[in-house]
Amino acid sequence: MYKWSTISISFSNLLPCHQQHSPPQQSGLVPAYSAESDSEDEGADKDEKEGRLTDWIQVFPLNKEIIIEGLSLLCQTGKKLEHAFIKLDLKDRALTDIIAISSYIHIRFLDLSNNYISDLSPLASMTHLLWLKVDRNSMKSFKEQPLSEFTFLQWLSVASNQIVDMEGLVGPSIETLILSGNSIQKINGLRNADFANLVILELRGNQLETTSGFDLPNLRKLYLAQNFIKRLEGLEKLERLITLHLRDNQLETLEGLCPEMKSLQYLNIRGNAIAEGDALRSLHFLTSSLKTLVIAENPVVDAVPYRQTVLILLPQLERIDKEPVTLTERTEARRTIRDDRAESATHTSL
């Protein structure tokens, strides 16, 4: 347990607990290639590769002075009177190599965003990390990264990198996982055994075409906006999901919603390709839980009286798009439901 404490410290207290000497890193220019170059033939000659250069990056060495500048949040370590800083901010430093921080073993909160980092292995010694942000770097894979060492990590963001799959990603204590703005095409490896505590998952702006692959019964919020999703599949394992965000995809139907989604309260399908009222029929599986439906910017909005159509399927809704459901709308929907049931009973008796 770490106790907050205010003490006066000398400059030497800014050094890591186990001082290590890392190889010097030279500042200078390194080439940055376009994203397309990653998929080119590895056998391309030098002239071809140089032709794909889009920019030159000025990189700087990570040294003790830069680290000291980013340290904050002094805390007692639990070893008698020993104290250490547990927060380190290294964003916007044009870093490619972070080996110099490997000896700062007490860090709990680490921000590495807006750099050029592709290798997190120097973090392996930071086994007590709780919060890690690696947005807008050069990460391409989770393979051979030290994520399995972070058994206490609760919040992880690797947004806007070059990740294409989730192989190697583990996080038994992670509660919030943000992978937006990558190039992930398929959900694989998201098993409850590896992410038992995961409650918020953000995958906006990737290249997913289906929702298949989520085995996360404890998940509460799932954000999948701005993908290429055409099919709703595998949702039956999301039993505790409260929020499902599917804005700006390519859905033509809501087939795939299922009765197992008994906790869902908020569904956003704005900006899809749903054109007919019949494509909404699967909404009736959410009758007992759904409170808010966002459906604007679908063709069906202009094709049918959609608010009434939705309320007949979900009479308990409290809000459709930005507008609350009025008493008049609810009364009319219930009258229509009664009339339909009466007509159905008449046909049955005949």
Task: Examine residue 135 and state whether it is found in any structural domain, yes or no.
Answer: no
Is residue 321 predicted with pLDDT exceeding 70?
yes
Q: What is the pLDDT of residue 295?
A: 97
Q: By C-alpha distance, which of 215, 255, 256, 223 is closest to 239?
A: 215
Is residue 15 predicted with pLDDT exceeding 50?
no
Task: Examine residue 344 and state whether it is found in any structural domain, yes or no.
Answer: yes
- Tens-place pLDDT, residues 84-115: 999 999 999 999 999 999 999 999 999 999 99
Is residue 10 predicted with pLDDT exceeding 60?
no
Contacts of 281 (CB under 8 A, 6+ apart): 254, 255, 313
Q: What is the mean pLDDT of residues 336-348?
A: 67
Is residue 349 predicted with pLDDT exceeding 90?
no
Domain around 290: 208-349
Could you tell me which residue, 54 or 279, shows the higher pLDDT?
279
**221: confidence class by pLDDT, cuts 50, 70, 90:** very high
Q: What is the pLDDT of residue 57?
A: 66
- Any idea what the CATH number is for the domain that residue 268 is in? 3.80.10.10
Task: Examine residue 44 and state whether it is found in any structural domain, yes or no.
Answer: no
Task: Examine residue 4 and state whether it is found in any structural domain, yes or no.
Answer: no
Structure-block tokens of residue 124: 């392996």
- Mean pLDDT over the full length of the chain: 85
Q: What is the mean pLDDT of residues 321-334?
A: 93
Q: What is the pLDDT of residue 238?
A: 96
Is residue 152 predicted with pLDDT exceeding 70?
yes
Torsion angles phi and psi, residue 212, rounded to 5: -70, 145
Task: Examine residue 52 and state whether it is found in any structural domain, yes or no.
Answer: no
Could you tell me which residue, 39 or 66, shows the higher pLDDT?
66
Structure-block tokens of residue 350: 């005949």
pTM of the model: 0.83
**304: confidence class by pLDDT, cuts 50, 70, 90:** confident
Locate tokens 């990189």: which residue? 59
Domain count, the chain: 1
Instruction: Compute the distance between CA of residue 238 and CA of residue 267 in angstroms, rounded to an integer.
Output: 13
- Tens-place pLDDT, residues 66-92: 999 999 999 988 777 788 999 999 999
Torsion angles phi and psi, residue 47, rounded to 5: -65, -40
Task: Examine residue 238 and state whether it is found in any structural domain, yes or no.
Answer: yes
Query: To the nearest whole percent, how much of the chain has pLDDT over 90?
Result: 71
Q: What is the pLDDT of residue 46?
A: 45
- Tens-place pLDDT, residues 231-284: 999 999 999 999 999 999 999 999 999 999 999 999 999 999 999 999 999 999
Is residue 155 predicted with pLDDT exceeding 60?
yes
Task: Examine residue 255 and state whether it is found in any structural domain, yes or no.
Answer: yes
Q: What is the mean pLDDT of residues 117-127?
A: 95
**337: confidence class by pLDDT, cuts 50, 70, 90:** confident
Locate tokens 């380190």: which residue? 88
Instruction: Compute the distance between CA of residue 227 and CA of residue 249 in angstroms, rounded to an integer.
Output: 5
Task: Examine residue 325 and state whether it is found in any structural domain, yes or no.
Answer: yes
**303: confidence class by pLDDT, cuts 50, 70, 90:** confident
Is residue 25 predicted with pLDDT exceeding 90?
no
Q: What is the pLDDT of residue 250?
A: 98
Q: By C-alpha distance, which of 180, 244, 169 is closest to 206?
A: 180
